Structure 1
Amino acid sequence: MNKIKNIGIGLLAVVALSMGSCSKDFLDEELTTKYSTEYFETAEGLEALTVSLYGNIRWHFGYEWAYGITLYGTDEFTNANDLTNEMWNTYDSRLGPIGATTSTGAANGNATSPNALWNEMYYGIASCNTIIANADKIDDEDVRNRCLAHAYFLRGYNYYRLTAQYGGVVLQTEPASGVVRNFTRSTEEECWAQVISDLRNAYDYFEGEVYTYGKGITWTKATAAHFLAKALLFRASERCDDWNSSYKQSDLEEAIDACSYAITARGGKLTDNYSDLYANWTGVDCDIEQLDEILMAAGHNADSSTSGRFGNRTYNYFTPQFSNFSGSWVKRGVWIGGMDFQRCRPTEYSYEVYDHVNDARMWKTFKTVYGVNNVADATAGIEAGDPGIVMILNTKDDHTYDSYTFGASKQAPNWTDDAGRLPEWTVGSRQTETSGSLTAETGQWVPNSLVLYQNGEYVASSFTSQPICNFFAGINKTDDGSRTAEKGDAHRDVTMARLAETFLVRAECYVRLGNYSSAMADINVVRARAEWKSGENRSYYSDGSQAFENNSLNTGSSAEKYIYSNLNMNTYYLSNPDLEVTTEASSLELTSFPSVLPDEDEAIMTAIGASSDYERALNFILDERSRELLGEWQRWETLSRTGTLITRAKAFNAEAAPNITAGKHELRPIPQTFIDGLLNDDGSNLTEAQKEAWQNPGY
């Protein structure tokens, strides 16, 4: 261990940042940064500082790091034609301790630095340390316990995020007392012990299920239980196998108990309709933000205090570059819930992991139809409100579209008049939940169309605008039609934990203990919600664009563009062309696990070489996590934890495969800015050898 000194950030600056980034979703009082540090050693100040902790988690969704450090470089998402954070996906030489700038090869000045998470998590930890150290100054026991519960929870959560990304980090659990500190880099084992201790303390201090500082989901005992279970599972997982043998059994058993508490505390069931989690968002603080299934969310609303640098920017990252497609038939604007920044392009795996017929989550998640809102050529026979972009998510064994051509260059933004036309189809009027259609019969031409497969080959990635594909079906979990400017902040909360994951965490614990029947029962709870229910219109689609119906900008031409752009339809029947229109219920129930798995999972097991019962069961849960949690900000962490990152990225992410390296890329580089600021006890600079000892292997 290296014991060194560093020039610390003054506590006042830390507290000011924490207070200044708070969300009024959880607050009934005015926030200010005018207080001295002594204020935060009073009962009133400590309670105010506790409230401010909710602001720290909003950082995660305020900029490009939201996807760069959580989703890129995995089996689920790769980069599209925008290369802002390309290095986090490709694992090339620009992903290093100093970070990438335009002078070192970054596409622009927005690339995420390795120090982004490091710095922000320690800001939050500093506030927590102040609360914990001074809690005895709060006479009211209920208030004191509430403050301690929140402080232990956020400190545990922040150290969880740090350890998951970097491995061993600096454990600082006392308030700063000056600008010079001795720091020791703790081992990963020591860090997980601290995370688990903090989350156990939070679990013990939280009593009851509701602490309300204002409108919105707040942290509760169930929240602490969920993350305690995740931390225990992490310590019992493959990345820690060099040292975790003495913990595994007890950690898995405790994690199961923690999951069981969280599940029971939230009524033991999931929200009935998967669309209610994301797609049916209708505006600021709407009912779906208060669902019992949500265990933790970063709070945002229309108040100016939730805007700015760490406002919600996530609506930018999952949408293809539709405004540049052939003919410019679809113009972007606040009436469409997502900006077409084309950051996160789904891999073939992310489409093929679903049962395209029976899994409603696929069709309630992927946006596959855009309506024409800009009639660029009146001679083309296309009117406003006709489908202008259609994504056909067919399967490898579908040959309906084998004979169709897409132009010599296969460039989606450069279709020719004739070569780019797919079958004509009948298009019903704007969809409702019970009526409307988009079926493959003679009818209307659609100028921009994508298919996944021709002749059994994956061709979606061939629809390119140099150098990389930018024509893909994006996901809708962040769409927000409440924005008051095209590039303004989103106003919806960002879900960070929910009960479906708790069931899957418990299932994985059962798998690791060899209890496959209990694991299957938990998995089936999640899959039951994913089934089509009797009477559902399978071609109906919705997303957060519908919040525009309550937007003050919803007048005149903007109102027309909203109606024309959002047709509430998907391509379910075009993508499953042999299927008759039906409103029957579907089934996804597992009856044998893990010896017999669904066809889509068997294909994945073959691709990654998973053969033993344990490998098949673990990887099935990873598949189920994709189906349930696609794009929910934790895939890199999950694959690193389970020792599957390298195998899955090489198998399913063509951009990541050439460079990703075992023994290196399971951890992130320690920020060079931090290492360069370290001093020895005698005040001298670290030698190059000492600096190297601080760095993770391979960087």
Structure 2
Amino acid sequence: MKNTTMKRLGYKISFGLLMAVGISSCTLDEWNPSTVDVETGYKYRDGYESLVNYCYDGLYYFYGKIDGIGAMEMGTDLWANVANAETGFTLYNSNMNAQLGTLATIWNGMYATVNYCNTAIYYADQVEGFGSEEERNAKVAEAYFLRGWANWHLVEQFGGVSLTTVPSTETGPVNSPVRSSEQAFYDLIISDLIFATEHLPNRSEGERGRVTKKAAYAMLAKAYLQRTRLGDVQENARLALEAAEELITNGSAYGVSLYQSDDEQSGFGKLWSGANNKNNTEFLFIEAVDHTEGRNPEGWNRGRTRQYYLADTRTTGAPWGTQENETWTGRSNSRNFKPTKYLLTELFEPVSDPADTRFKETFFYEYYNAKWEDVTISQSMVNQYGKNPDLVGHVIKNTAAGDVTLVQGNTSTWRMGVENMVDDNDDGWLDGLSVFTPNWVMSAAEKRDLPFWIVDPSDWYQADGRWVQPESNSMATYTREVYPSLKKFSSWEYVMDRQYWLGDIPIIRLGEVYLIAAEAALLYNNDVNKAQQYVNQVRKRAAVTSRQSEMEVGAGEVTLDFILAERGRELAGEQIRWYDLKRMGKLTTDYLQATNPDIRFFDANKHTVRPVPQSFMDAIANPQEFGQNPNY
């Protein structure tokens, strides 16, 4: 959202409500209803619009932050655990329990969003100052949308828990909550999202981040498709297809379109280009980040997602010239999540020059010397890394440059890959390359003779597909810490420093809508030709124009399993995968063992939902009646 909107996120809108969740005012120059009762406060348009702004607050704690990654992306076929953080999500071990702090964050955050939205919906009819009923409905439709979004996360993460529609300002503390069915959740979710499609504007009026019809139709399609797991598959699929095709067919009305490839760059590459980040034609629902003045929840502390996927450029790669303080690849001390063998070598084709650009656009796999000085290969490096002795004395050129002023205008920093990006010795490789982590296996001769450190799948994975285990005096101690790093949320223009990234984060984007349409077409009436059409549109824009024909697949190849794989290639790291596996019946021991054998403790009798946080169970008067989720 533009700056005035972000300022309003700081307004006090109800003393009792906001003090309960620890939010305070940062500016009071327009109107402050904190000293009046709720009914009076929300009676006026300024106060009411401030309340609606608060409905967006929860986005900022689940996207671009660690709290959303574990619950939405981990414990799937795509990622393994590196360190010990979030092992409950990645391994389904004993850390997945009712005391897990991240679960309480998700629970409290989503219910806070629901309560803000309930409040906005409840008081909408009393608000004065709107020019028409249509104008009023357009504003309250934002709350309907965000309540649907939050309830969708609640029911998918926790199952049939408490469904609320009346704000706490009216009910007071609910000491004895009751559960609702998952179907009841979806009835309300769908109803809310339909209201949003009917009343939100086609386009925003200059406030980046405001939800519009494109977000509503995308979320409606997503909700209908996810609901197929509960039954009535054909009808829910039909409705998902209808909502998805509204966007695909009428994209010009909503200002949306897939980026198209040219001879030099794929459309998928353009999608993630920083030049397109703040006005992206594929982003349908976003966490909008203020990159100029930092008027965000937690200020500049945004875009932290990237650091948890980073390889070790701080220590393990350092002898070759990589550097933690280099801002583009970010702070690398977390090293929590790394790609599975299934993701790198089965979903992505493990060859050096595939037509599909999505591996190279999704991952950093070329790390350059960023030490501010050249690095000379020493005898000890040759000995330790098994390199050709003739490489002693070879110079890896520095590629870092400083005093690069970023778009927010108040930070100068430095990064790799700016200087000496040349091949003066004509060996086919850039002279500043330090560490190379391809998803294809290179020959022993190449790994020995080339003047940089090469770590590939043969170094990362054991025969059983698990990540190699560190052993004393073994190179596995080092090779397991250097791997392709997720770079979708690292476009250079919005890197603030080695930790923070200030780009907008897509929550739903158009490429996913095409894949929703393809999946729905199969589930509704097995329309393989329509599914093929939508899948090929996504696949073709992942290649430059001269190679697009290589990306096309035949109708007979487009199965549900193929679409799941395609979603992995397209959406890896975008906090979607756990929901995909749940919807498509892949949260099973057999599937996870086949695709991510590092997961050892998955139990289908409990792990398809999360435990209800113990803090909630301890606070209510009827914990036995409400009940913990099964087998927790």
Q: Distance in 2 between matches of 1:20 and 1:172?
A: 22
**Of residues 330, 335, 339 in structure 1, which corresponds to 2:327?**
335
| Inter-CA distance 45–31: structure 2 relative to 1 (3 Å threshold) | closer
| Greater mean deviation of Cα atoms: 457-466 or 519-528 | 457-466
- Give the alignment of 1:430-509 within 5 angstroms: 445-446=451-452, 448-453=453-458, 461-462=467-468, 464=470, 469-481=480-492, 482-487=494-499, 489-509=500-520
Q: Report what 1:317 is aligned to.
A: 308
- Give the alignment of 1:613-624 within 5 angstroms: 617-624=559-566
SS of residue in 2 equivalent to 1:508: helix
Q: Report what 2:341 is aligned to.
A: 348
CA shift digits 1:494-537 (9 cap, x unpaired)? 11111111111111111112222211111111111112323xxx
Q: Would you say the 8 A contact 1:63–1:314 is kept in 2?
A: yes
- Give the alignment of 1:62-81 within 5 angstroms: 63-80=65-82
Q: Report what 2:239 is aligned to.
A: 254
**Of residues 597, 607, 612 in structure 2, which corresponds to 1:654?**
597
**Matching of residue 180 in structure 1 with residue 122 in structure 2:** no
Report the CA distance between 1:168 and its aligned residue.
0.7
Q: Would you say the 8 A contact 1:315–1:338 is kept in 2?
A: yes
Report the CA distance between 1:305 and its aligned residue.
2.1
**Of residues 99, 122, 126 in structure 2, which corresponds to 1:137?**
126
More helix by share: 2
Q: Distance in 1 between matches of 2:468 and 2:94?
A: 26
Q: Would you say the 8 A contact 1:532–1:586 is kept in 2?
A: no
Q: Report what 1:365 is aligned to.
A: 362
Q: Distance in 2 between matches of 1:276 and 1:35?
A: 49
SS of residue in 1 equivalent to 2:437: strand
Q: Distance in 1 between matches of 2:102 and 2:227?
A: 27
Q: Report what 1:306 is aligned to.
A: 296
Q: Would you say the 8 A contact 1:320–1:472 is kept in 2?
A: yes
SS of residue in 1 equivalent to 2:54: helix
Report the CA distance between 1:248 and its aligned residue.
2.7
SS of residue in 1 equivalent to 2:114: helix
Q: Distance in 2 between matches of 1:23 and 1:225?
A: 34
| Greater mean deviation of Cα atoms: 163-172 or 139-148 | 139-148
**Matching of residue 93 in structure 1 with residue 94 in structure 2:** yes
SS of residue in 2 equivalent to 1:462: coil
Q: Distance in 1 between matches of 2:233 and 2:24?
A: 38
Q: Would you say the 8 A contact 1:270–1:293 is kept in 2?
A: yes
Q: Distance in 2 between matches of 1:507 and 1:234?
A: 14
Q: Report what 1:53 is aligned to.
A: 55
CA shift digits 1:101-133 (9 cap, x unpaired)? xxxxxxxxxxx5311111001111111111111
Q: Report what 1:635 is aligned to.
A: 577
Q: Distance in 2 between matches of 1:12 and 1:120?
A: 19
Q: Would you say the 8 A contact 1:367–1:474 is kept in 2?
A: yes
Show structure 1 runs of 5+ residues with no match. Answer: 1-9, 100-111, 405-420, 426-444, 535-583, 598-616, 681-685
Q: Would you say the 8 A contact 2:64–2:505 is kept in 1?
A: no
Q: Would you say the 8 A contact 1:22–1:306 is kept in 2?
A: no
Q: Report what 2:398 is aligned to.
A: 384
Q: Distance in 1 between matches of 2:53 and 2:22?
A: 9
Q: Would you say the 8 A contact 1:315–1:480 is kept in 2?
A: no
Q: Distance in 1 between matches of 2:16 and 2:501?
A: 27
**Matching of residue 201 in structure 1 with residue 201 in structure 2:** no
Q: Distance in 1 between matches of 2:535 and 2:141?
A: 31
Q: Distance in 2 between matches of 1:210 and 1:83?
A: 44
TM-score (norm 1): 0.71
Q: Would you say the 8 A contact 2:468–2:480 is kept in 1?
A: yes
Q: Would you say the 8 A contact 2:465–2:596 is kept in 1?
A: no
Give the % identical residues: 25
Q: Would you say the 8 A contact 2:582–2:608 is kept in 1?
A: yes
**Matching of residue 234 in structure 1 with residue 226 in structure 2:** yes
| Inter-CA distance 384–467: structure 2 relative to 1 (3 Å threshold) | closer
Q: Report what 1:148 is aligned to.
A: 140
Report the CA distance between 1:648 and its aligned residue.
3.0
Q: Would you say the 8 A contact 1:23–1:300 is kept in 2?
A: no
CA shift digits 1:290-342 (9 cap, x unpaired)? 12211011011222322628633122122111221251621122532432132
SS of residue in 2 equivalent to 1:345: strand
SS of residue in 2 equivalent to 1:422: helix
Q: Distance in 2 between matches of 1:483 and 1:21?
A: 28
Aligned positions, number: 538
**Matching of residue 158 in structure 1 with residue 150 in structure 2:** yes
Q: Distance in 1 between matches of 2:616 and 2:163?
A: 14
SS of residue in 1 equivalent to 2:611: coil
Report the CA distance between 1:178 and its aligned residue.
5.3
CA shift digits 1:153-187 (9 cap, x unpaired)? 00000000111111112111011125432421111
**Matching of residue 518 in structure 1 with residue 530 in structure 2:** yes
Q: Distance in 2 between matches of 1:336 and 1:669?
A: 37
CA shift digits 1:122-155 (9 cap, x unpaired)? 1111111111111112343233112221010000
Report the CA distance between 1:54 and its aligned residue.
2.7
| Inter-CA distance 54–358: structure 2 relative to 1 (3 Å threshold) | same
| Inter-CA distance 41–130: structure 2 relative to 1 (3 Å threshold) | farther
Q: Would you say the 8 A contact 1:217–1:289 is kept in 2?
A: no
Letter in 2 for 1:59: Y
| Inter-CA distance 153–18: structure 2 relative to 1 (3 Å threshold) | farther
Show structure 2 runs of 5+ residues with no match. Answer: 1-12, 261-266, 379-393, 400-431, 471-475
Q: Distance in 2 between matches of 1:458 and 1:450?
A: 19
Q: Report what 1:625 is aligned to.
A: 567
**Matching of residue 121 in structure 1 with residue 110 in structure 2:** yes
Letter in 2 for 1:473: P
TM-score (norm 2): 0.78
What do you get for the CA RMSD once the two structures are aligned?
3.1
CA shift digits 1:67-120 (9 cap, x unpaired)? 11111110001111x222122111111110112xxxxxxxxxxxx531111100
Q: Distance in 2 between matches of 1:423 and 1:379?
A: 13
Q: Distance in 1 between matches of 2:218 and 2:612?
A: 28
Letter in 1 for 2:151: Y
